Each structure stands twice: as C-alpha cells, then as structure tokens.
Amino acid sequence: MFSSVQMGWDYMKHRPLQRARRSRVGHDEEDIGGKIAIVTGSNSGLGKQAALELCKRGAVVVMACRDVRKAEEARDEILKEVSSAHLDPVQLDLGDLESVRKFVSVIKERYPRVDILINNAGISEPKIKKTKHGFESNMGVNHLGPFLLTLLLIDHLEKAEHGRVVCVSSSMLYLAKLDSENILPENQSRGFLGYEPYANSKLANALFVKELAKVLMKTNITCYALCPGLVATNVFRVVQQ
C-alpha cells in the first residue's frame, strides 16, 4: 500500500544523507506596502502563511483559491492577526484552464499590475484522474494550470518595477520519471500510480522556471523555484486517506 512513509523511504534511497545543521529562519523585513501579490492556494498551509507574511509587510494579497468560501474564512483569520491587511479572495481552479483565463481577466480588470506571483497551490493524487481538459490531474493542477497562469500574467508582471514569479516545487522531483507517455491518463496502464505523477509535476515546475528565467533574463522579472521541505500541509490529504 502506498503511503507517505513509503514515499519518504523511497526519497531517502535516492538522495544521500546530509549532516543536519542547525540554522535560523531568516525574515525579510522589507516594507512592500502597495505591492500586489497573487498567492494560489492561500486558504491553508504554506499559501495561507505566505499571504499572512505578505500582509504583515503591507502587500495587497489576491487569494487565488478554488473554494472562495474557504478563502474568505482564511482571510478573516488573517485579519484577526493583521487588521490592516488587504486581502482579495478570487476564484481559481487550476485544473480548469477556462477558470485560469477567467481569473486572469478579473485580475487585469481589477489591478494595474502584478508585482509577485506565487504558484503555491497543488495536489497529490495517487490514482488516475483527469482534469476537465483530459490531463492527468497532478500534472494538470500542479503544472499546466500554473504554467498558463504565469504566461498570461507576464505582461502584467512587466508593469511592476521588479516582477517576481515563485513556483513551489519539491525535492520529490528527484523521483520523477517524466516522459510523453505518462502525461495523459489514457497512456497509463496502472490504476494506482503512487507518488510518480506528483514527482513528475514537481520536476515540470522546476524545468519551467529554469527555462522561463532564461527567456525573461533581460526583463524586470525574476523567477524562482523552491522546495519548502517536509511541511504538514493538506497537499497529501488524499494519500493519508
């Protein structure tokens, strides 16, 4: 049976052990008042914490979430900590490319630019499922949706003084087996795929950011991919069930 324990064991087999080092968490206290930030999946976990920290520094935060009701609940919780926070919940389903286009239209009508885009939202679905447009669900939600979202917002990011694109990837990318045969569900022979689709989507995130950074090298936009480490979030809720 696939489990998060098995996933962790497989990861350790593929990566050398490193000496643990005690470190301090750094905090960037820069005032970013007035900057406009979009954080996908900001109703819980890392996205919610990112939204909170951005609000503490004065940013306007667009909470791009599939479930607007949950986004509004998260907004209310953040407002209890930062009463001056400017939070704007907007519906976005990354598994539906039409929803992505609609979201971008709303943003461009509502805001003059985008300073920060954090592609944080993600899923981990061990079984074969399709997005609305027929893509494997992990690849569709974790990569193809954010891919389209980012490209459609490039012109708005260029209007910022210093645009930033951040994609939350994962060290699970080292376990990826990415090829053209395993992107579409009809090309997959097993009904239970385990962690491979998730790992593939995280590798796609990193490769996308690497190439995007090259393309945008001479612009005002910089691109980053990161691994947050092992964090207790809802991304593996399906696996845990």
Taking only the tens place, the pLDDT of each residue in 10-32 is 544 444 434 333 334 445 668 89
Q: How many CB atoms lie within 10 A of CB 214?
A: 9
* pLDDT classification of 67: cutoffs 50, 70, 90: very high
| 100-114, 130-144, 169-183, 211-225: least confident range | 169-183
**Residue 126 φ/ψ region, left for φ over 0, alpha for ψ in the -120 to 50 degree band, beta for the rest:** alpha
At 178 the three-state DSSP class reads coil
* pLDDT classification of 91: cutoffs 50, 70, 90: very high
> Is 241's pLDDT higher than 90?
no
For residue 24, the one-letter residue type is: R
List active site positions. Answer: 198
Number of helices and strands (H, E) in the chain?
A: 8, 6
Closest to 67 measured CA to CA, from 131, 121, 132: 121
State the CATH architecture for 31-240.
3-Layer(aba) Sandwich (3.40)
For the chain, the domains span: 31-240
Could you tell me if 129 and 137 are in contact, meaning their C-beta atoms sit under 8 angstroms apart? yes
